[in-house]
Chain A
Amino acid sequence: MKVLVYILFLCSVHGLHDDEIGKYDWKKEFVGNADHVEFESSVSVSKYLFVASRLNALACLNSRTGEIIWRKILGEAEGKFVGIKHTKEGLLTVTSSGVARLWETNSGSLKWEAVVGATPNITITSFMMIERNYNVGNLLVATSDNGVHTMAMLSNNPRGETLTLDVATDKKISIDTTMGNIIVLEAEPTKLSATIVDGGNVESYREVVVADGWGGGVAQLIILETNQLVYLDDGSLYLVDLTLGATKATLRLDEVGINEVEKLIPINDDEVSTRGGWFVLQHEGGNVVFMEVGDAGIKITWRKTFPNLFDVQFKRLSSETFLFVTTNNGSELKTIAIDAKTGLIDETSMIRFNLNNDDGKVDKIFINMFLKRSTPLGFRLLLQCEDGSLTLVVNPNREVWRRQESLAEVVGVVMIDLPLSGAGLEFEGGGAERNVVADMFVKRIKAQSQQLLSWVQQTLKEIEAGTLFKHKTRDPLIQVEGLTRDPFSLHKMIVVVTRSGVVFGIDSLTGDIVWRHFIVGLDRSLTWKYDFYVQRTTAHFPHPPLVALLALASNQPAQPVLVTFNPITGDFNEHSATKPIKQTMILPTPDVDHLRHLLFLHQDDSLTLFPPTHGGSMTSLKLFFYDVIDGWVVGYAVNSDITIKQTWKFKIPSTHHVISMLGKNMLEKVDSVGRPLADRSVIFKYLNPNLVAMVAGSVDDAVDRANLLLIVFDGVTGKVVYTNTHKKASGPVHIVHSENWIIYSYWNTKARRTELTSIELYEGKSQHNKTTFSSFHLQANPMVMQQSYIFPTGISCMGVSHTDKAITARQILFGLKRGALFGLPRRFFDPRRPLVLEESHREEGLIQYMPEIPIPPELFVSYNLSVEMINGIYSSPAALESTSLVFVTGIDIFFTRIQPSKMFDVLKEDFDHMFISLVLIGMFVAALVARRMSQIKQLKKSWR
């Protein structure tokens, strides 16, 4: 009970005041790369635009501004979105796991959800909808890998039926609304058969073999109105009556000048009854042929040639049918609308859009057609580019808005201090060339007088403008405008790299994008891993800050891409490709230009430096890596002539594979080498900077046999310091490793809950060596303390706070699966927490052991905000010892600052400076007056 009260008391100070919300934190929401886009189906230009992304997010955007109106995120187990469809009732979505949902369009609230197809473990591949009257509800038709599923979408009771068909992998489904039929076409290697299913009771009532001995796929056929089907075989088009299976007409394509057919495009994607007798054939050389099917067979209505043809789409609105043809010559995208029946081009509504080399190629085009009063039609384009941006373009060439959706998939972050202001720079620059003391003194005086002068000028200007006492930024602690460092270094440049290979510079004060760079040299078909290396910080004026970004293709022997850039201005330099890289290291000691070099270990075990020359010795550098394929962990030492030799290796048992591995930050600061105990003796921490924690999971993942193996080893000598096995446990594993402690989370398969284990390593009551640490020193294995806890909610990511001098207590940060950032003081994970709390423990600040970790709502760093799908927590120290800056990535990006031990070095914002100074001045004046009065009184007294 006491402990509970204690904890409550402890936690209550961490909360946030109402007026502090949004003062120093910000959050940006994203959707991710769009897989499916649906415009609100209305005749006139509509406000809503629906996007389903590859990150399983469904969002409604305002099509005029690009802002998110609402957004819903589905869990990973749901599978991907198969499609979205805007209906009169709302937005209909189906996921590949077979869950159909209907969302309210205005608010995004869920109207109903139901499972399509009662059989488990199916994968839905496509769906469409047959409109029916209100009493029976619209019919949802979905195909899966084992059949066709239908569901009557009655708003109060959606219910479904399943028809299992023989599994054919190549399958196409169309619906005939007027007849209420579902037409399933299956292409087998030797034949094409059609099954016509009655939508009402899901019974197949006719099966027809359409073409025997046909080897094409379903992409090479089109169903038209009144059960007609056109398929392509051996350079000829065949027209077939579906109900009979008889060929009605053929057209040899080479007779009409068509040699190689690229695509057959139906007027409407899934509905047969609105297609009429028309379709479009796209063939080589950018030719588009509009074809009509009639009694006289297949005939060509019109044909046009478009050089650099990129995309052809049909759009239908009421009685109008238009063909949208997009051409792309690399620098300009041009979309024109052609009246389908007449083949007339409407020149007024053409859209031309200049493409930036900086956006990558255009991936997808989504067209929204609407009717206008003045002209016959209008349309808008939504472009999904390779860099993840989503752009809405309107006639004639205006970009309405652009969303940088690649920020939903940030994979690397580094936070850089901003440079000092102009006057400060000069002063700092004085230190660069150390000449004579007198000279330096003069320089310093000059610089400081200049600073004073500029300050006076600034203040005068502010007084003139009347802004002297006003807050210059929304953050009360940052009162320096622009991209210059504030005294507390709270304002930083956040540099992020996203999965699609775009580097952004983000202002940490506002969250605005300062610069953006698209890495050109990446092959976008591969998956890339990115690593930042801060080679030079902003502290070395006049040398510019420099960050290196290394992109490596994962699992492919592709050339790595190395770029260096100035993180403040975003000036990029691309470097020539190097040999494939196995391991990299940033050197701990900078050279004379304050630049930290990079060391690359290549696949052929050779070493190179970047930049190539470095004066210092490199014999203190060691490298190690784990080879996923053969399970060896191999360590290397660097020789003085920049070659390597293998020094040690050990094998992970073949029953296990390494899930996660984490060393300590190189050059990590540790404030205290030991820990005082209640009897005032010291227990010294085992501060081996080369320690690596590795968690391996068993290959056998059965619930009662799965286990986890923790190996803590020295990366220099390969000596295993500690091992531990968790039975009935499996990944995902998240590790935090700092100073002398390791905290990792895993899944307990038996109890079905998330657990955490905390490990602390100590040398004991005496210190082995007070001045230096070498892994080669002969030293006994450290004492290990260990405790495990139950974490009551799912963890998606773990991190730890970093402060300037590491004096402040650490805070362990958790990205929760429920969409929040949660921070707990590290003492909750102190393995010395006693079972029975005694006075001496209390003196040390230990809390009684409880297996459950509490989740008090005051400790949510993200307070009431939802920060969804957190996959990275990055922290950076400010110049204020109490404060750590935290940047969280996921589908949202969130930035805030935390004070793990409260803000002990800055006065609270509500501190009344005016009152205090008034009181002080008042007291001073009162003292003066009283002194004078007493003097007078004294004089009078002595005169009496």
Chain B
Amino acid sequence: MHPTTNTPKRSRNKWSLDVNLKKGESRLELPAPPGYAREQPSIGSDDAVASDDGGTNLIDKKSWEIAVGPIKGLPMNIFIMYMAGNTISIFPIMMVGMMFFRPTQALMGIRTTMRMLENSSQYIFQTFLYFLGNCLALALAVYKCNSMGLLPTHASDWLAFAAPIQQLEYVAGGFAL
């Protein structure tokens, strides 16, 4: 025997819903789940229908924003890098790390960004711009690393790998014994 019946439970918890079928009961159609609206609401259908051109503009605008974003961030990054200084300590290193991390992440996820930009009219140009901006940010990070002395660009950085010099002659001597 099922312990719960509809009526006494409902008074206790008005949100509880019993979807179990009782013996002998058959229901062909389930009631709609709470909060489910059967009819589709129409949102701003008037505007959308009214100006199709405006929609494309908005997509273009948004796409441009996405595309130019990395380049826009460059001056700020330059400023931050300038302020961070060339000393090697935890904060500048973290900043440089972020400088590397963000463009790299963006470039890795360039496919999703491309999909976002797909609907724009200047799709190729924008993608290129986005790519360029990230590359510039990366270049900035590399430059920063260089100015911090983290890149093995000098002879001294390769000194430890120099093979020992082989000697061709051996000598012994001193006072005549």
Instruction: Check if B174 is an interface residue, CB within 8 A of chain A.
Output: yes
- Min Cβ gap A175→B in Å is 49
What band does the interface of chain A fall in when counting residues whose beta carbon is under 8 Å from B? 35 or more
- Min Cβ gap B64→A in Å is 43
Determine whether the beta carbon of B165 is less than 8 Å from that of A661: no
Determine whether the beta carbon of B173 is less than 8 Å from that of A771: no
Q: Give residues of chain A (618-670) contacting chain B, Cβ–Cβ below 8 Å.
A: 620-628, 635, 658, 661, 663, 666, 669-670
Instruction: Check if A330 is an interface residue, CB within 8 A of chain B.
Output: no
Question: Looking at the complex, which one of B154, B155, B162, B172 makes contact with A583 (CB distance below 8 Å)?
Answer: B172
Which residues of the partner chain B approach A769 to less than 8 Å between Cβ atoms?
165
> CA of A587 to CA of B171 in the docked complex: distance in angstroms?
10
Contact bitstring A705-732, B, C-beta under 8 A = 1, else 0: 0000000000110000000000000000
Determine whether the beta carbon of A626 is less than 8 Å from that of B170: no
Which residues of the partner chain A approach B168 to less than 8 Å between Cβ atoms?
620, 772-776
Question: Looking at the complex, which one of A585, A692, A771 makes contact with B165 (CB distance below 8 Å)?
Answer: A771
Q: Give residues of chain A (96-118) contacting chain B, Cβ–Cβ below 8 Å.
A: none
Determine whether the beta carbon of A690 is less than 8 Å from that of B171: yes
Contact bitstring A406-439, B, C-beta under 8 A = 1, else 0: 0000000000000000000000000000000000
Q: Give residues of chain B (124-177) contacting chain A, Cβ–Cβ below 8 Å.
A: 149, 154-157, 159-160, 162-177
Instruction: Check if A672 is an interface residue, CB within 8 A of chain B.
Output: yes
Closest residue of chain B to A621 (Cβ to Cβ) is B170
Instruction: Check if A168 is an interface residue, CB within 8 A of chain B.
Output: no
Which residues of the partner chain B approach A680 to less than 8 Å between Cβ atoms?
149, 154-157
Apart from A663-B173, A687-B165, A692-B171, 15 more pairs, CB < 8 Å:
A529-B177, A583-B174, A583-B177, A620-B168, A625-B174, A625-B177, A635-B173, A669-B164, A673-B162, A682-B155, A689-B170, A690-B171, A716-B169, A716-B171, A771-B166
Residues in A lying within 8 Å of B, measured CB to CB: 529, 552, 581-588, 599, 620-628, 635, 658, 661, 663, 666, 669-670, 672-674, 676-677, 680-682, 687, 689-690, 692, 715-716, 769-776
Which residues of the partner chain A approach B172 to less than 8 Å between Cβ atoms?
583-586, 599, 621-623, 663, 666
Question: Looking at the complex, which one of A581, A623, A670 makes contact with B171 (CB distance below 8 Å)?
Answer: A623
Determine whether the beta carbon of A670 is less than 8 Å from that of B170: no
Which residues of the partner chain B approach A716 to less than 8 Å between Cβ atoms?
169, 171
> CA of A772 to CA of B165 in the docked complex: distance in angstroms?
5
Q: Indicate whether A581 sits within 8 Å of B177 (C-beta atoms), given known contacts A681-B156, A716-B171.
A: yes
Determine whether the beta carbon of B177 is less than 8 Å from that of A624: no
Determine whether the beta carbon of A622 is less than 8 Å from that of B169: yes
Q: Indicate whether A674 sits within 8 Å of B176 (C-beta atoms), given known contacts A620-B170, A690-B171.
A: no
Determine whether the beta carbon of B166 is less than 8 Å from that of A773: yes
Determine whether the beta carbon of B177 is less than 8 Å from that of A620: no
Determine whether the beta carbon of B173 is less than 8 Å from that of A583: yes
Q: Indicate whether A682 sits within 8 Å of B156 (C-beta atoms), given known contacts A622-B169, A687-B165.
A: yes
- Min Cβ gap B43→A in Å is 34
Closest residue of chain A to B157 (Cβ to Cβ) is A680
Which residues of the partner chain A approach B155 to less than 8 Å between Cβ atoms?
674, 680-682
Question: Looking at the complex, which one of B149, B156, B171, B176 makes contact with A582 (CB distance below 8 Å)?
Answer: B176
> CA of A627 to CA of B156 in the docked complex: distance in angstroms?
44
> CA of A520 to CA of B159 in the docked complex: distance in angstroms?
53
- Min Cβ gap A610→B in Å is 14
Question: Looking at the complex, which one of B160, B163, B165, B176 makes contact with A773 (CB distance below 8 Å)?
Answer: B165
A-B contact pairs, 24 of them (CB 8 A): A583-B177, A586-B172, A587-B170, A599-B172, A622-B173, A624-B173, A625-B173, A625-B175, A658-B175, A661-B175, A670-B164, A670-B165, A672-B160, A673-B159, A677-B156, A680-B149, A680-B155, A681-B154, A681-B156, A690-B171, A715-B171, A770-B165, A771-B163, A775-B169
> CA of A774 to CA of B168 in the docked complex: distance in angstroms?
5
> CA of A680 to CA of B159 in the docked complex: distance in angstroms?
11
> CA of A673 to CA of B165 in the docked complex: distance in angstroms?
8
> CA of A619 to CA of B69 in the docked complex: distance in angstroms?
72
Closest residue of chain A to B154 (Cβ to Cβ) is A680
> CA of A624 to CA of B157 in the docked complex: distance in angstroms?
39
> CA of A587 to CA of B170 in the docked complex: distance in angstroms?
8
Closest residue of chain B to A775 (Cβ to Cβ) is B169
Which residues of the partner chain B approach A689 to less than 8 Å between Cβ atoms?
167, 170-171
- Min Cβ gap A34→B in Å is 31
> CA of A769 to CA of B166 in the docked complex: distance in angstroms?
10
Q: Indicate whether A624 sits within 8 Å of B171 (C-beta atoms), given known contacts A680-B157, A773-B165, A773-B166.
A: yes
Which residues of the partner chain B approach A666 to less than 8 Å between Cβ atoms?
170, 172
Closest residue of chain B to A552 (Cβ to Cβ) is B177
Which residues of the partner chain A approach B157 to less than 8 Å between Cβ atoms?
680
Closest residue of chain B to A662 (Cβ to Cβ) is B174
Determine whether the beta carbon of A663 is less than 8 Å from that of B159: no
Q: Indicate whether A692 sits within 8 Å of B173 (C-beta atoms), given known contacts A770-B162, A772-B167.
A: yes
Q: Give residues of chain B (66-122) contacting chain A, Cβ–Cβ below 8 Å.
A: none
> CA of A689 to CA of B157 in the docked complex: distance in angstroms?
25
> CA of A552 to CA of B175 in the docked complex: distance in angstroms?
13
Which residues of the partner chain A approach B174 to less than 8 Å between Cβ atoms?
583, 625-626, 661, 663
> CA of A669 to CA of B167 in the docked complex: distance in angstroms?
11
Which residues of the partner chain B approach A588 to less than 8 Å between Cβ atoms?
170
Which residues of the partner chain A approach B162 to less than 8 Å between Cβ atoms?
672-674, 770
Q: Give residues of chain B (5-50) contacting chain A, Cβ–Cβ below 8 Å.
A: none
> CA of A628 to CA of B176 in the docked complex: distance in angstroms?
7
> CA of A584 to CA of B154 in the docked complex: distance in angstroms?
45
Closest residue of chain B to A768 (Cβ to Cβ) is B165
Which residues of the partner chain A approach B154 to less than 8 Å between Cβ atoms?
676, 680-682
Which residues of the partner chain B approach A658 to less than 8 Å between Cβ atoms?
175
Determine whether the beta carbon of A676 is less than 8 Å from that of B166: no
> CA of A27 to CA of B155 in the docked complex: distance in angstroms?
47
> CA of A776 to CA of B169 in the docked complex: distance in angstroms?
9
Closest residue of chain B to A670 (Cβ to Cβ) is B164
Which residues of the partner chain B approach A587 to less than 8 Å between Cβ atoms?
170
- Min Cβ gap A693→B in Å is 11
- Min Cβ gap A478→B in Å is 30
Q: Indicate whether A672 sits within 8 Å of B176 (C-beta atoms), given known contacts A623-B171, A624-B171, A773-B166.
A: no
Determine whether the beta carbon of B159 is less than 8 Å from that of A622: no
Which residues of the partner chain B approach A692 to less than 8 Å between Cβ atoms?
171, 173
Closest residue of chain A to B149 (Cβ to Cβ) is A680
Determine whether the beta carbon of A622 is less than 8 Å from that of B176: no
Return the 10 tightest CB-CB contacts between A and B, nearest first: A676-B156, A585-B172, A624-B173, A680-B154, A715-B171, A774-B168, A682-B155, A622-B171, A690-B171, A625-B176
Which residues of the partner chain B approach A770 to less than 8 Å between Cβ atoms?
162-163, 165
Which residues of the partner chain A approach B177 to less than 8 Å between Cβ atoms?
529, 552, 581-584, 625
> CA of A715 to CA of B171 in the docked complex: distance in angstroms?
6
Closest residue of chain A to B155 (Cβ to Cβ) is A682
> CA of A548 to CA of B149 in the docked complex: distance in angstroms?
52
Which residues of the partner chain A approach B171 to less than 8 Å between Cβ atoms?
621-624, 663, 689-690, 692, 715-716
Which residues of the partner chain A approach B167 to less than 8 Å between Cβ atoms?
689-690, 772-774
> CA of A296 to CA of B34 in the docked complex: distance in angstroms?
154
Which residues of the partner chain B approach A687 to less than 8 Å between Cβ atoms?
165
Which residues of the partner chain B approach A690 to less than 8 Å between Cβ atoms?
167, 169-171
- Min Cβ gap A650→B in Å is 13
Which residues of the partner chain A approach B164 to less than 8 Å between Cβ atoms?
669-670, 673
Which residues of the partner chain B approach A624 to less than 8 Å between Cβ atoms?
171, 173
- Min Cβ gap B168→A in Å is 4
- Min Cβ gap A290→B in Å is 53
- Min Cβ gap B171→A in Å is 4
- Min Cβ gap B164→A in Å is 6
Which residues of the partner chain B approach A623 to less than 8 Å between Cβ atoms?
171-173
Closest residue of chain A to B153 (Cβ to Cβ) is A680
> CA of A689 to CA of B171 in the docked complex: distance in angstroms?
8
> CA of A587 to CA of B164 in the docked complex: distance in angstroms?
20
Closest residue of chain B to A666 (Cβ to Cβ) is B170
Which residues of the partner chain B approach A586 to less than 8 Å between Cβ atoms?
172
- Min Cβ gap B148→A in Å is 12
> CA of A556 to CA of B171 in the docked complex: distance in angstroms?
26
Which residues of the partner chain B approach A773 to less than 8 Å between Cβ atoms?
165-168
> CA of A692 to CA of B173 in the docked complex: distance in angstroms?
9
